[in-house]
């Protein structure tokens, strides 16, 4: 009888452990489901990994940005090409106001080699990341006699043209796609409309993510 009472008290004392274990399990399942539902970008994931490691990971987006910026500065390409790391990936910005003649999707011949040079530097990253080519335009309507019916078509044509160059350096076509935005995502300006501000809006961006 005494042994029975001891066992009964012991079972009662340990009963809370079962409830605690159930609570921990449920919380774990909740956070796993929450994490799975979140769209965690490669950039943010790498930022967490690098913060924990205390160093830049090999072939990370940050390493790519550093290499691109160093190359662009060394070659004095700053007026034509830019490279920045954002939450959306590494953005290679092509100054379409310089690279493309007004109303045209054909890359000016004197800038083709510059574009190819810069694209070659990201070739080692091609197997790890995807590439999106974004076409943007200014808000000036295309001319009535233009081969393009709208800024949508012009932005798409420029993106397609740049995409061809991206593939030409050896980046697999399965890693590529294009996005056209026309004038729907303008860059912030001081509100003054000038030729320079319009030139800034006419851009093609290669997003690596």
Listed in sequence order, the residues at least 6 apart from 166 whose beta carbon sits closer than 8 Å to its beta carbon are 119, 131, 133, 176, 206
Homologous superfamily of 56-208 in CATH? OmpA-like domain (3.30.1330.60)
pLDDT digits (tens, 9 = 90+) for 55-66: 878 889 999 999
pLDDT digits (tens, 9 = 90+) for 125-152: 999 999 999 999 888 898 888 899 999 9
Can you tell me whether residue 2 is helix, strand or coil? helix
Measured CA to CA, the distance from residue 103 to residue 80 in angstroms comes to 18
User: Does residue 69 surpass a pLDDT of 70?
Assistant: yes
pTM, whole model, 2 decimals? 0.74
């Amino acid at each position: 009888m005494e042994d029975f009472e001891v066992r009964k008290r012991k079972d009662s004392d340990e009963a809370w452990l079962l409830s605690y274990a159930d609570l921990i399990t449920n919380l774990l399942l909740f956070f796993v489901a929450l994490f799975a539902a979140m769209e965690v970008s490669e950039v943010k994931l790498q930022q967490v990994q690098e913060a924990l490691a205390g160093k830049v990971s090999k072939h990370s987006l940050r390493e790519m940005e550093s290499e691109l910026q160093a190359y662009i500065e060394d070659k004095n390409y700053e007026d034509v090409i830019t490279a920045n790391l954002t939450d959306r990936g590494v953005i290679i910005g092509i100054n379409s106001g310089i690279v493309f003649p007004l109303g045209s999707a054909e890359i000016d011949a004197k800038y083709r080699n510059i574009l190819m040079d810069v694209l070659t530097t990201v070739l080692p990253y091609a197997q790890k990341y995807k590439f999106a080519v974004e076409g943007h335009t200014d808000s000036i309507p295309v001319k009535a006699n233009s081969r393009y019916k709208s800024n949508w078509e012009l932005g798409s044509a420029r993106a397609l043209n740049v995409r061809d160059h991206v593939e030409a350096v050896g980046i697999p076509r399965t890693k590529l796609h294009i996005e056209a935005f026309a004038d729907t995502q303008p860059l912030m300006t001081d509100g003054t409309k000038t030729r320079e501000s319009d030139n800034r809006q006419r851009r093609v961006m290669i997003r690596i993510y």
